[in-house]
């Protein structure tokens, strides 16, 4: 129960950022990160996102 508020505080801004990026640019997290930073960091971002769902 004590983790609900921190989870909401963290996940709501993340959801808003993802929605804003998705509405402005095609592609997903890999494309957003790889175009701005580098392809290896794009892969790392997607891998970390995948690892959080396990």
Q: Is the pTM of this model over 0.85?
A: no
Q: Render pLDDT for 8-39 as a digit per residue (tens, 0 to 9).
A: 888 888 888 888 877 887 878 888 899 999 99
CA angle 19, 23, 29 (to 5 degrees): 60
Q: Smallest Cα–Cα separation from 24: which of 36, 8, 10?
A: 36
Question: What does the pLDDT read at residue 27?
Answer: 79
Judge whether residue 53 has pLDDT over 80.
Answer: no
Report yes or no: 16 and 9 within 8 Å, Cβ to Cβ.
Answer: no
Domain locations in the chain?
4-52
Calpha distance 39→27 (Å, rounded): 14
Calpha distance 6→21 (Å, rounded): 23
The residue with greater pLDDT, 25 or 51, is 51
Calpha distance 25→32 (Å, rounded): 8
């Amino acid at each position: 129960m004590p983790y609900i508020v921190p989870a909401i505080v963290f996940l709501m801004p993340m959801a808003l950022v993802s929605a804003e990026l998705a509405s402005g640019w095609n592609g997903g997290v890999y494309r957003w990160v790889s175009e701005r930073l580098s392809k290896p960091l794009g892969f790392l971002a997607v891998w970390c996102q995948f690892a959080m769902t396990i």
